[in-house]
Amino acid sequence: MGQAGDQKTGRGRLIIISGPSGVGKSTITRQLVARRAETYLSVSMTTRPQAAGEQDGRDYWFVSRDQFHQRIEAGTLLEYAEVFGNLYGTPRDKTQEMLAAGRTVILEIDVQGAKQVKAIYPRATTIFILPPSGKVLAERIGRRGREDGAVIARRLGGAGSEIAAAEQSYDHLVINDDLEQAIREVMEIIDNAPGIDAP
Protein backbone atom coordinates (compact mmCIF):
# COMPACT_ATOMS: atom_id res chain seq x y z
CA MET A 1 0.00 0.00 0.00
CA GLY A 2 1.41 3.40 -0.95
CA GLN A 3 1.35 6.64 0.98
CA ALA A 4 -1.98 7.64 -0.45
CA GLY A 5 -3.79 4.67 1.08
CA ASP A 6 -5.55 2.12 -1.09
CA GLN A 7 -7.04 4.43 -3.70
CA LYS A 8 -8.44 1.66 -5.92
CA THR A 9 -10.72 0.15 -3.34
CA GLY A 10 -11.46 3.53 -1.77
CA ARG A 11 -10.25 2.52 1.65
CA GLY A 12 -8.68 5.50 3.26
CA ARG A 13 -7.01 5.60 6.61
CA LEU A 14 -8.68 7.03 9.65
CA ILE A 15 -6.28 8.56 12.15
CA ILE A 16 -7.38 9.89 15.52
CA ILE A 17 -5.05 12.30 17.28
CA SER A 18 -5.68 13.22 20.91
CA GLY A 19 -3.68 14.76 23.70
CA PRO A 20 -3.88 17.26 26.49
CA SER A 21 -4.49 20.91 25.76
CA GLY A 22 -1.31 22.73 24.76
CA VAL A 23 0.62 19.60 23.80
CA GLY A 24 1.02 20.72 20.19
CA LYS A 25 -1.64 18.57 18.46
CA SER A 26 -2.72 21.36 16.11
CA THR A 27 0.86 22.17 15.11
CA ILE A 28 1.49 18.52 14.32
CA THR A 29 -1.74 18.00 12.38
CA ARG A 30 -1.23 21.19 10.36
CA GLN A 31 2.22 19.97 9.42
CA LEU A 32 0.81 16.61 8.32
CA VAL A 33 -1.64 18.38 6.04
CA ALA A 34 1.11 20.62 4.67
CA ARG A 35 3.45 17.69 3.96
CA ARG A 36 1.03 15.05 2.72
CA ALA A 37 -1.43 16.01 -0.01
CA GLU A 38 -3.67 12.99 0.64
CA THR A 39 -4.30 14.10 4.21
CA TYR A 40 -7.66 15.61 5.09
CA LEU A 41 -8.07 17.30 8.46
CA SER A 42 -11.66 17.05 9.64
CA VAL A 43 -13.27 20.33 10.72
CA SER A 44 -15.27 19.78 13.90
CA MET A 45 -18.42 21.50 15.00
CA THR A 46 -18.35 23.23 18.37
CA THR A 47 -20.45 25.37 20.68
CA ARG A 48 -17.40 27.04 22.18
CA PRO A 49 -16.91 30.71 21.37
CA GLN A 50 -14.71 31.54 18.41
CA ALA A 51 -11.28 32.74 19.57
CA ALA A 52 -9.32 35.58 17.97
CA GLY A 53 -7.59 34.43 14.81
CA GLU A 54 -9.93 31.46 14.31
CA GLN A 55 -12.04 31.16 11.18
CA ASP A 56 -15.49 29.60 10.91
CA GLY A 57 -15.26 26.59 8.59
CA ARG A 58 -11.48 26.39 8.80
CA ASP A 59 -10.70 25.87 12.50
CA TYR A 60 -14.19 24.79 13.55
CA TRP A 61 -17.79 25.21 12.53
CA PHE A 62 -19.00 27.48 15.32
CA VAL A 63 -22.65 26.82 16.16
CA SER A 64 -25.14 27.44 18.96
CA ARG A 65 -26.12 24.69 21.40
CA ASP A 66 -29.53 24.51 19.69
CA GLN A 67 -27.92 24.01 16.29
CA PHE A 68 -25.61 21.38 17.76
CA HIS A 69 -28.54 19.47 19.26
CA GLN A 70 -30.30 19.57 15.89
CA ARG A 71 -27.22 17.93 14.35
CA ILE A 72 -27.23 15.23 17.01
CA GLU A 73 -30.91 14.49 16.40
CA ALA A 74 -30.44 14.44 12.63
CA GLY A 75 -27.63 11.91 13.09
CA THR A 76 -25.14 13.98 11.13
CA LEU A 77 -22.35 13.64 13.67
CA LEU A 78 -20.01 10.64 13.65
CA GLU A 79 -19.25 11.26 17.32
CA TYR A 80 -19.63 14.07 19.80
CA ALA A 81 -18.67 14.85 23.37
CA GLU A 82 -18.75 17.59 25.96
CA VAL A 83 -15.23 18.88 26.62
CA PHE A 84 -14.52 21.64 29.17
CA GLY A 85 -18.23 22.55 29.20
CA ASN A 86 -18.64 22.87 25.42
CA LEU A 87 -19.91 20.44 22.82
CA TYR A 88 -17.62 19.22 20.05
CA GLY A 89 -18.47 16.82 17.23
CA THR A 90 -17.19 15.35 13.97
CA PRO A 91 -19.35 15.80 10.84
CA ARG A 92 -20.14 12.32 9.52
CA ASP A 93 -20.68 12.94 5.78
CA LYS A 94 -17.37 14.63 5.08
CA THR A 95 -15.43 11.94 6.96
CA GLN A 96 -17.13 9.15 5.01
CA GLU A 97 -16.74 10.98 1.70
CA MET A 98 -12.98 11.44 2.24
CA LEU A 99 -12.47 7.83 3.38
CA ALA A 100 -14.37 6.58 0.33
CA ALA A 101 -12.05 8.69 -1.84
CA GLY A 102 -9.06 6.89 -0.29
CA ARG A 103 -7.84 9.90 1.65
CA THR A 104 -6.11 9.83 5.03
CA VAL A 105 -8.57 11.45 7.40
CA ILE A 106 -7.28 13.04 10.60
CA LEU A 107 -9.63 13.59 13.51
CA GLU A 108 -8.22 15.81 16.23
CA ILE A 109 -10.65 14.86 18.97
CA ASP A 110 -10.72 14.03 22.68
CA VAL A 111 -10.61 10.60 24.35
CA GLN A 112 -14.41 10.26 24.60
CA GLY A 113 -14.76 10.90 20.88
CA ALA A 114 -11.90 8.51 20.07
CA LYS A 115 -13.70 5.72 21.90
CA GLN A 116 -16.90 6.31 19.91
CA VAL A 117 -15.07 6.34 16.58
CA LYS A 118 -13.15 3.15 17.45
CA ALA A 119 -16.48 1.45 18.15
CA ILE A 120 -17.67 2.36 14.63
CA TYR A 121 -14.34 1.91 12.83
CA PRO A 122 -12.26 -0.66 14.76
CA ARG A 123 -9.41 -0.25 12.26
CA ALA A 124 -9.04 3.44 12.98
CA THR A 125 -5.57 4.23 14.32
CA THR A 126 -5.38 6.15 17.59
CA ILE A 127 -2.41 8.33 18.50
CA PHE A 128 -2.03 10.15 21.82
CA ILE A 129 0.45 13.03 21.98
CA LEU A 130 2.19 13.45 25.32
CA PRO A 131 4.12 16.41 26.68
CA PRO A 132 7.70 15.79 27.81
CA SER A 133 6.55 16.74 31.31
CA GLY A 134 3.66 18.36 33.17
CA LYS A 135 5.73 21.47 33.72
CA VAL A 136 6.28 22.01 30.05
CA LEU A 137 2.56 21.55 29.46
CA ALA A 138 1.66 24.23 32.04
CA GLU A 139 4.10 26.67 30.49
CA ARG A 140 2.77 26.07 27.00
CA ILE A 141 -0.85 26.60 28.01
CA GLY A 142 0.08 29.77 29.89
CA ARG A 143 2.05 31.11 26.96
CA ARG A 144 -0.87 30.78 24.55
CA GLY A 145 -2.51 33.64 26.42
CA ARG A 146 -6.11 33.17 25.33
CA GLU A 147 -7.34 31.71 28.61
CA ASP A 148 -7.58 32.92 32.17
CA GLY A 149 -6.09 31.15 35.19
CA ALA A 150 -9.20 29.18 36.12
CA VAL A 151 -9.57 27.75 32.63
CA ILE A 152 -5.88 26.83 32.55
CA ALA A 153 -6.19 25.06 35.92
CA ARG A 154 -9.25 23.13 34.72
CA ARG A 155 -7.49 22.03 31.55
CA LEU A 156 -4.39 20.94 33.47
CA GLY A 157 -6.55 19.10 36.00
CA GLY A 158 -8.13 17.20 33.16
CA ALA A 159 -4.80 16.33 31.63
CA GLY A 160 -3.74 13.80 34.29
CA SER A 161 -6.77 11.55 33.97
CA GLU A 162 -6.81 11.92 30.19
CA ILE A 163 -3.18 10.78 29.98
CA ALA A 164 -3.85 7.82 32.29
CA ALA A 165 -6.82 6.74 30.13
CA ALA A 166 -4.78 7.13 26.96
CA GLU A 167 -1.92 5.00 28.15
CA GLN A 168 -4.39 2.14 28.47
CA SER A 169 -6.35 2.49 25.29
CA TYR A 170 -4.47 4.26 22.48
CA ASP A 171 -2.61 2.36 19.76
CA HIS A 172 0.36 4.74 19.83
CA LEU A 173 1.83 7.28 22.22
CA VAL A 174 4.08 10.00 20.84
CA ILE A 175 6.02 12.39 23.08
CA ASN A 176 6.22 15.88 21.66
CA ASP A 177 9.62 16.83 23.00
CA ASP A 178 11.24 17.70 19.70
CA LEU A 179 8.52 18.88 17.29
CA GLU A 180 10.20 17.64 14.11
CA GLN A 181 10.77 14.22 15.60
CA ALA A 182 7.16 14.01 16.80
CA ILE A 183 5.93 14.90 13.29
CA ARG A 184 8.14 12.19 11.77
CA GLU A 185 6.93 9.60 14.27
CA VAL A 186 3.30 10.43 13.52
CA MET A 187 3.96 10.25 9.76
CA GLU A 188 5.56 6.83 10.18
CA ILE A 189 2.58 5.58 12.20
CA ILE A 190 0.24 6.87 9.47
CA ASP A 191 2.28 5.19 6.71
CA ASN A 192 1.89 1.87 8.51
CA ALA A 193 -1.78 2.34 9.42
CA PRO A 194 -4.31 -0.02 7.82
CA GLY A 195 -7.02 1.15 5.46
CA ILE A 196 -10.39 1.05 7.14
CA ASP A 197 -13.44 -0.99 6.15
CA ALA A 198 -16.77 0.71 5.65
CA PRO A 199 -18.80 0.62 8.89
Exactly one of 81, 127, 174, 190 binds ligand 5GP (CB under 6 A); that residue is: 81
**Under a CB-based contact definition with an 8 Å cutoff, are residues 102 and 7 in contact?**
yes
Q: Which is closer to ligand 5GP, CB of 76 or CB of 112?
A: 112
Distances (CA, A) of 79 to 97, 109, 110, 123, 127: 16, 9, 10, 16, 17
Exactly one of 90, 95, 104, 125 binds ligand 5GP (CB under 6 A); that residue is: 90
Provide the b/e sequence for 69-92 (b: ≥16 CB within 10 Å). Answer: eebeeeeebbbbbebeeebbbbbb
**Under a CB-based contact definition with an 8 Å cutoff, are residues 28 and 182 in contact?**
yes
Letters for 61-80 (x = contact with ligand 5GP by CB under 6 A, - = none) are ------------------x-
Residue type, 156: L
To ligand 5GP, the closest distance from the beta carbon of 89 in angstroms equals: 5
Residue type, 25: K
Exactly one of 40, 68, 88, 128 binds ligand 5GP (CB under 6 A); that residue is: 88
Looking at residues 13 to 42 of the shown chain, list those that interact with ligand 5GP (rule: CB under 6 A).
Answer: 18, 21
Q: Which is closer to ligand 5GP, CB of 3 or CB of 161?
A: 161
Instruction: Tell me which residues touch ligand 5GP (CB under 6 A).
Output: 18, 21, 44, 48, 79, 81, 83, 88-90, 108-110, 112-113
